[in-house]
Amino acid sequence: MSDLPETDSRPVIVAFGDSLTAGAGVPADGNYPAKLQARIDAAGYRYRVINAGVNGETSAQGLSRTPSIVVLHPVIAIVEFGANDGLRGMPAEATAQNLLDIVSSLQSTGARVVLAGMQIPPNYGLQYTGAFRSIFPVVAKKQKAALIPFFLEGVGGRPSLNQEDGIHPTSEGYDIVVENVWKALQPLL
């Protein structure tokens, strides 16, 4: 018998994103990737979810990190970027191009992609918020990726489901986020 630990041979699902994926401010078992793993296990599917979220990251930073995700050989990648771009007022066209490049890179390795839609507060103006919101369905359609219409649906703007910063979900908020993700993910499992 070998003293080496067994390798986890389950197919990989990578949760690739910013602090909303990393789970800023909640315990490790309270973020959405951990809760998604529990949901997958409970449903009897055999996948391993890897949390590849980094606090504060923009879509450009995510794009530069994509090669490190590709080497994980994910069968599915859940791409959640854009919130930091929007909150910093970055041009919607640049965010869209970064997301197209991320999705394309992942798909070129055979990974199926789920793109998480994002919205920003209305105080950024009707023109910018509309352009920003349209990024995600346009990229998903162009790349034939699954789409979560709004990652924070049912959570965003609800103080009881968000931490004091009003941006990051609580562990309870992540329960709802997992349901949003599950709707797009389950057909791919």
SS3 for 85?
helix
Q: Annotated catalytic residue: which of 19, 59, 85, 171?
A: 19
Query: Is 101 assigned a catalytic role?
Result: no
Q: Annotated catalytic residue: which of 2, 8, 9, 165?
A: 165
Q: Annotated catalytic residue: which of 18, 59, 85, 168?
A: 168
Phi then psi for residue 87, to 5 deg, are -65, -25
Rounded distance, CA 161 to CA 171, Å? 8
Query: Is 168 assigned a catalytic role?
Result: yes
> DSSP string of 136-169?
HHHHHHHHT-EEES-TTTTTTT-GGGB-TTSSSB
Phi then psi for residue 6, to 5 deg, are -65, 145
Q: How many CB atoms lie within 10 A of CB 108?
A: 9
Query: Is 29 assigned a catalytic role?
Result: no
- Tell me how far CA of residue 119 lies from CA of 11, 102, 103, in angstroms: 31, 19, 19
Q: Which residues are catalytically annotated?
A: 19, 165, 168
